[in-house]
Amino acid sequence: MKKPKRARAAKAKRGPKTSASRSKAAPMRAARHSAKPARRGASDGGATENAKTIRDLRGKLKAALLRVAELEAAADTDFLLEIPNRRGFERELVRAIAYMKRYRASGALIVLDVDRLKPINDSFGHAAGDEVLKAIAATLTRQVRASDVVGRLGGDEFALLLWNLSETDAQAKAAALEQAIDELSFSFRGQGVTAGASAGVALLGAQSDAGRALEEADAAMYVRKARRRHEPRIRLVSS
């Protein structure tokens, strides 16, 4: 079957494909094919760089968050005794009362003041006073449960947050803490020294307020301290 005249005329006009035209077309096709992988490679490189940047930023964020946590912990911790300071203890007390309000739990707050720390500082120096404070903090920590909180409100004043204690149990616990501290003895410059402590109690419950509870326990502590004033201000016994 013969081709139509019109198709033959168009083919004749284009002319036959030569080796020169084929050689020109081949590099163009090769260039188009080679350009596509190059674009994919650049895209992959950018994605890798972005992923690395994200990992670096996440690492820096994690380090920054850890540093913030360390600074917050330091701000809430007494540097000498390594227990909560006033700021840290008050924060724990507020949290505890919020828990008590929600779950109808109860507890007790004990404020304890060292009776004879100033005479010890005056007689033997502040290094001796620091040793006494460290021993008292360790004694208080041993006397409570892991769920309880022992803090230093400042100077020679401590506070304890105790969970699930009745008034009778809280008063008995305060007396036991006083006795444990009264029984501590120290030796400075060849002389035996005792300190002693007075404790006041405030009960905690769903209706408690942190500030008022601290004031109540503090007032009870001063009443207790007044009753102990007949005891020696400081006892020195030659070794």
Q: Which amino acid, 172?
A: A
**Residues with active-site annotation:** 156
For residues 100 and 92, what is the distance between their CA atoms, to the nearest angstrom?
12
Handedness of CA 11, 17, 20, 24 (dihedral sign): positive
Q: Which of 82, 137, 114 is nearest to 193 (CA)?
A: 114
For residues 104 and 214, what is the distance between their CA atoms, to the nearest angstrom?
20
159's CB contacts (< 8 A; 6+ apart) are 89, 93, 109, 110, 111, 112, 150, 151, 152, 153, 214, 217
Q: Which amino acid, 54?
A: I
